[in-house]
A = this chain, B = another copy of it.
Amino acid sequence: MALRARALYDFNSENPGEISVKENEIVTLYCEQDIEGWLEGVNSRGERGLFPASYVEILKNTAPSYNNNISAGDGYQASKYANISGSGYDTSYNTQPIDENLSKTSAPSFTSYPVPVQHPPSYQPSQASDDDWDDEWDDSSTVADEPGVIGGSFPDYEGNGPSTYRMSTSSMPRGGTAQQAKSSATVSRNLNRFSTFVKSGGEAFVLGEASGFVKDGDKICVVMGQYGPEWQENPYPFVCSIDDPTKQTKFKGMKSYVAYKLTPTHTQSNVSRRYKHFDWLYTRLVEKFPVISVPHIPEKQATGRFEEDFISKRRKGLIWWMNHMTSHPVLARCDVFQHFLTCSSTDEKAWKQGKRKAEKDEMVGANFFLTISTPAVPLDLQDVESKIDGFKAFTKKMDDSVVQVNTTFNEFARKQIAGFKKEYQKVGLSFKILGQAFELDQQQFSVGLNHAIAYTAEAYDTVGEYFAEQPRQDLDPVMDLLALYQGHLANYPDIIHVQKGALTKVKESQKHVDEGKMEGASADGICERCNIISFATLAEIHHFHQIRVRDFKAQMQHFLREQIGFFQKITTKLEEALQKRRSR
């Protein structure tokens, strides 16, 4: 008897090699074992191909299974689902209402004019449709890396970020390293185990529970600069280009992916990386650095992944991301990023070694704070609090304005591509029609005018095209920048939350000392550790302002130059038309 499965949801094939199935449709399977979340089979119309394993339930006297129990059977793939890293999500995340998840992933994308329709419209889009998840790795990875984990992309556990924040659906939330340490401190613990302060390891660190061996190379310095605490500059600055996005295939051409060529200036040798490598790296970084705003990688996209526009757009997003990575004194130097940038694409062994090392890195979360060394003079906590509050207000206002600029630019781009183009081309067309009428008169004194009108008609048609092409040159780059900053702005509530949590602990401990419930030395320790978090937070805020001013200055100049060039191009075109007219 053939192995069969029943479709739980509609799935519409989007790429070669996939087949569509309807809810309740019975499909015949070749094998019950999925290949990285995909099953191969024949649907009721006799079409053979792949479809997402999670979209069907296998009919063999088992209860309906939605998610990763599909892969619970035996086989060569089983190990990867079994080997769940300790740093994975608390399973209680799955109790989050699905609605919230949907509302986050379907937030409007500001970098493309039409809001991309998520496909398929279920709560597991990444598994079914983003081939970046077609993992050729068979070594262990975290649950968050795996398809089919609901809630794998919750951007904000407490819902305390502004709802306008756009989160990459692939965002690995901070807090993967929440330490369930046994408490021995006298300061009360936060009862909310999902609080960022707890999950980031901030609480554990402040309470003195973090411990680890800090190598010299891991030391991260905060120094006092002209404007306050700063990250010590990277003594070996470098940048990294991202070029040649190339479509590659596997599974006998049934599944495809895009690889990019990365060339860091400090090694000058290029490596090939896929989106999923970026995604893996991003996850590591978020896990490791609790008070650093890790730039978001470009969003996943379900459909049209191999269209030139999308590839070009994603590449631009990755370039921006890379720019922010290499600009950051701490992120640029960290081991996992260096591994990503420098490990040869062909040396699989070295790659896996570095990968495992990064995944087993102990200096993440709470322990990260151990690596920070600060100036000797402690900060004034009241001053810190006021600076943090000021920054909080800044991010809120900047986020609002970025949303507004995005909306306006989106609309403006749409108008230029459609309306403006149409209007100028209609002017061109009406001149053309007038010229055609005039051409019925072929007397010698009319010919010059007729030619000139025909040329003017063409000129306006061209001007219409100019308008349609322009947003790509000026509005799109600004929107790309804004998208990256929206990611940063979405990070800051958590970063601020960690610092504020530490500050609260200081106040509590001082109160306990006053009440005689705690020893002064313990309270001093808490205060010192809070001081470290504060230094790091202020350094990060300073870095943010610096790159913000740098980026916006450059981008606004680019925007204006492009606009000037655009209007000059129109002027030139019309001057040609006028010359045409005069020369006759």
* Residues 409 to 433 of chain A near chain B (Cβ within 8 Å): 409, 411-412, 415, 419-420, 423, 426-427, 429-431, 433
Shortest Cβ distance from A65 into chain B, in angstroms? 49
The answer to whether A441 touches B394, judged by C-beta atoms less than 8 angstroms apart, is yes
The answer to whether B401 touches A556, judged by C-beta atoms less than 8 angstroms apart, is no
- Bound together, the chains give a CA A303 to CA B441 distance in angstroms of 40
A517, CB-defined interface residue at 8 Å: no
Q: Which B residues touch A408, using CB under 8 A?
A: 426-427, 429-430
Can you name 19 A-B pairs with beta carbons within 8 Å?
A: A393-B440, A397-B440, A398-B440, A401-B434, A405-B430, A408-B429, A408-B430, A409-B430, A411-B426, A412-B423, A412-B426, A412-B427, A420-B420, A446-B549, A449-B553, A557-B578, A560-B574, A567-B571, A568-B571
Given contact pairs A401-B434, A408-B430, a sample of 6 additional A-B residue pairs in the complex whose CB atoms are under 8 Å apart: A394-B441, A407-B430, A409-B430, A415-B423, A420-B420, A568-B571
Q: On chain A, which size bracket covers the interface?
A: 35 or more
Q: Which B residues touch A553, using CB under 8 A?
A: 448-449, 452, 581
Shortest Cβ distance from A122 into chain B, in angstroms? 35
A468, CB-defined interface residue at 8 Å: no
Contact with B along A552-572 (1 / 0, CB 8 A): 110011001101100110110
Q: Which B residues touch A437, using CB under 8 A?
A: 394, 397-398, 400-401
Most buried by B among A394, A405, A545, A567: A567
The answer to whether B227 touches A443, judged by C-beta atoms less than 8 angstroms apart, is yes
- Bound together, the chains give a CA A412 to CA B456 distance in angstroms of 16
Contact with B along A450-466 (1 / 0, CB 8 A): 00110010000000000
Most buried by B among A227, A409, A426: A426
A577, CB-defined interface residue at 8 Å: yes
The answer to whether B405 touches A431, judged by C-beta atoms less than 8 angstroms apart, is yes
- Bound together, the chains give a CA A456 to CA B430 distance in angstroms of 35
Shortest Cβ distance from A228 into chain B, in angstroms? 9
A158, CB-defined interface residue at 8 Å: no
A402, CB-defined interface residue at 8 Å: yes
A192, CB-defined interface residue at 8 Å: no
Shortest Cβ distance from A437 into chain B, in angstroms? 4
Q: Which residue of B lies closest to A432 (CB)?
A: B401
Q: Which B residues touch A581, using CB under 8 A?
A: 553, 556-557, 560
- Bound together, the chains give a CA A420 to CA B423 distance in angstroms of 10
A390, CB-defined interface residue at 8 Å: yes
The answer to whether B401 touches A430, judged by C-beta atoms less than 8 angstroms apart, is yes
A160, CB-defined interface residue at 8 Å: no
A404, CB-defined interface residue at 8 Å: yes
Q: Which residue of B lies closest to A450 (CB)?
A: B549
The answer to whether B560 touches A571, judged by C-beta atoms less than 8 angstroms apart, is no
Q: Which B residues touch A436, using CB under 8 A?
A: 397, 401
The answer to whether A456 touches B560, judged by C-beta atoms less than 8 angstroms apart, is yes
Q: Which B residues touch A227, using CB under 8 A?
A: 443, 445
Shortest Cβ distance from A74 into chain B, in angstroms? 57
Q: Which B residues touch A575, using CB under 8 A?
A: 564
The answer to whether A449 touches B549, judged by C-beta atoms less than 8 angstroms apart, is yes
- Bound together, the chains give a CA A563 to CA B427 distance in angstroms of 12
A583, CB-defined interface residue at 8 Å: no
Shortest Cβ distance from A481 into chain B, in angstroms? 11
Among B415, B423, B433, B578, the residue within 8 A (CB) of A405 is: B433
The answer to whether B552 touches A449, judged by C-beta atoms less than 8 angstroms apart, is yes
- Bound together, the chains give a CA A407 to CA B448 distance in angstroms of 25
Shortest Cβ distance from A307 into chain B, in angstroms? 28
A546, CB-defined interface residue at 8 Å: yes
